[in-house]
Chain A
Amino acid sequence: MTNDRYLIVSYFLCAALSIALGLLGYYYLRRPFAGVAEAAPGRGLPSMLKRLFPCGFVLPALLGFVSVSYRSCDRTTYTEIVASRGYLVEKNQEQISSILLYLLFAVVFWNLVALFVLRFARDGGEGHKTGQRTE
């Protein structure tokens, strides 16, 4: 496989991987987050949070993917970029690393959202005192 072809294939594979990882993170936290969002005050807020939740994983993952640039100080033209396979592999690693890092930020962000939701939950703290739990 030529470097040119490798670049095209690996770029689109990384793009697909970013969406897949975003969706994976979303599916892993979807149910517990839906339970937390249900406790949010206001009429429309729970459904709004639940609808925003998938975007809050897929978009950061995509952002992480596109935030890596193939151009650098010593490689500015396309020919220079595709000259070395090692450089292309390094960039792919950087892309995956960046996807994971942005997903990490997304998880921390949704943790903060859950914190505020639980703080201002509709039915106060009675459940905790009586030991009730919502499944």
Chain B
Amino acid sequence: MFESRSVEPANPGLKGEHGMNFALSAFLILLAISLAVPTILFLLLRSSLNDLLRHTLRLQAGVTFYLRSFLLVLYLAALSAAIGTSFDLKPDSRFMEYVWKGAEGVSSTLEKELWFVAIYLALITVLVATLKVKDDE
């Protein structure tokens, strides 16, 4: 009389706990990338930035201040973008949807990182230029 027909999707996606695990894994991977990028950038630029600042500033405190600020700028920019990425996808989302969401997070992390490194570099350029002018005077 009643024909019960269960409608199964052709290719069932990740459901419930699996989806949660994928979301958590994707978020942790994104967090790891957002910590790795500023670390690599800082290690790459630290010595030359240190030399430049030592050459420009009289105060050792100034050198330390600008180096520490650079480290903060890198980490804050990356973490701010990474943590702001939400993995709240539908329960039946597929694996690749999590990957795309993660890629979106990496994209916004790198974009923010780039903008703030550019701002910091502009600031350092102004610093070097103004103090050089002052020394020349």
Chain A residues at the B interface, C-beta cutoff of 8 Å: 25, 28-29, 31-36, 38-39, 86-87, 89-90, 93-94, 96-98, 100-101, 103-104, 107-108, 110-112, 114-115, 118-119, 121, 124-125, 127-129, 132-135
Residues of chain A within 8 A (CB-CB) of B86 are 89-90, 93-94
With beta carbons under 8 angstroms apart, the residue of B76, B79, B119, B131 that contacts A118 is B131
- CB neighbours of B73 from chain A (8 A): 104, 107-108
A27 vs chain B, min Cβ distance (A): 11
B121 CB to nearest chain A CB (Å): 12
Using C-beta atoms within 8 Å of the partner chain, give the interface range for chain B.
Answer: 35 or more
Complexed CA–CA distance, A132 and B83 (Å): 43
State the majority secondary structure of interface residues on B: helix
Choose among A28, A31, A89, A125 the residue that contacts B58 (Cβ–Cβ < 8 A): A125
User: Is B64 close to A, CB under 8 A?
Assistant: yes
Whether A101 lies near B76 (C-beta < 8 A) is yes
Are B58 and A103 neighbours in the complex by a CB distance under 8 Å? no
Count of inter-chain pairs, beta carbons less than 8 A: 120
B62, A32: Cβ atoms closer than 8 Å: yes
Task: Point out the residues of chain A lying under 8 angstroms from B137, CB to CB.
Answer: 125
From A86, A96, A119, A135, give the contact of B130 (CB < 8 A): A119
With a CB–CB cut-off of 8 A, which chain A residues contact B83? 93, 96-97, 100
The answer, yes or no, to whether B88 is at the interface (CB within 8 Å) is: yes
Residues of A within 8 A of B79 (CB): 100
Overall SS of chain A's interface: helix
A90 to B89: give the CA distance in the assembly, Å: 11
A–B complex contacts, Cβ < 8 Å, 30 sampled: A29-B69, A29-B72, A31-B64, A32-B65, A35-B64, A38-B61, A39-B62, A89-B86, A90-B88, A93-B84, A93-B85, A97-B84, A101-B80, A103-B76, A104-B72, A104-B73, A104-B76, A104-B80, A107-B76, A108-B73, A108-B123, A111-B120, A114-B62, A114-B66, A115-B127, A118-B131, A119-B131, A121-B59, A128-B135, A134-B59
Extra pairs beyond A89-B86, A97-B83, A108-B120 (6, CB < 8 Å): A115-B130, A118-B62, A118-B127, A124-B134, A125-B58, A129-B135
